[in-house]
Amino acid sequence: KNNQLTVTVPQEFLDKAVYPVIVDPTFGYTSVGGSSTGNLVESTMRANRPYTPAASGNVTSVSVYAEETNAAGATFHIRGIVYTDAGSRVTYGNEYAPSGTLAWRTLAVTPAAITSGTNYKLGVWFGPQRIRIKFDSTVGYGLERDTETYHATNAPSATWSTYSTTADRRYSIYATYSTSPSEPT
């Protein structure tokens, strides 16, 4: 508002937080869903409903509330991805090898410019094993999947093509971005 972005952090959150706390702005769904998917098999997935950042800046990470669901010792990798609503890849990140129970997984991406008022779809590319992601049942939201095989040295597709969809699920996935302060007037 008036050329100023304000992020307010609730005191209750700060009282329970594990420090350091990052308070950069986000867009997407930051709540932990009450349900979780079955074991999603290797592919690329993204939220089918776009999210719009409140201000322009550079996206720096994608966070997803997930866990790998394989037998001990299985190889598993995940990367964050951001696409435009029209299906062009904006950015993606390096591999992350999660393990353990369901938790927020913050996946750094190569910083890329995003624009206020533009719609983006947030996703992850994972494999070669399985993943479980938290969601809330919400009409109008869902999941789009592509059958792209995961490979450590390749980039995810530059354009999106949907293989299958799952309806009425709002997935726990959001992007964090930084804004550039404007010059004082």
Closest by CA to 161, choosing from 145, 172, 149, is 145
Q: Which residues contact 7 (CB under 8 A, 6 or more apart)?
A: 23, 24, 25
Residue 152 per-residue DSSP state: T
Cα–Cα distance, 41 to 39 (Å, whole number): 6
Closest by CA to 45, choosing from 169, 138, 178, is 169
Cα–Cα distance, 22 to 39 (Å, whole number): 30
pLDDT for the residue 178: 87
- pLDDT string in tens for the chain (185-residue length): 676 667 777 788 788 877 766 667 889 989 898 988 766 665 667 666 788 998 899 999 999 988 766 655 566 678 899 999 888 999 999 888 776 677 888 999 999 999 999 999 998 888 776 777 888 988 877 777 776 777 777 888 888 776 667 778 888 999 999 886 554 44
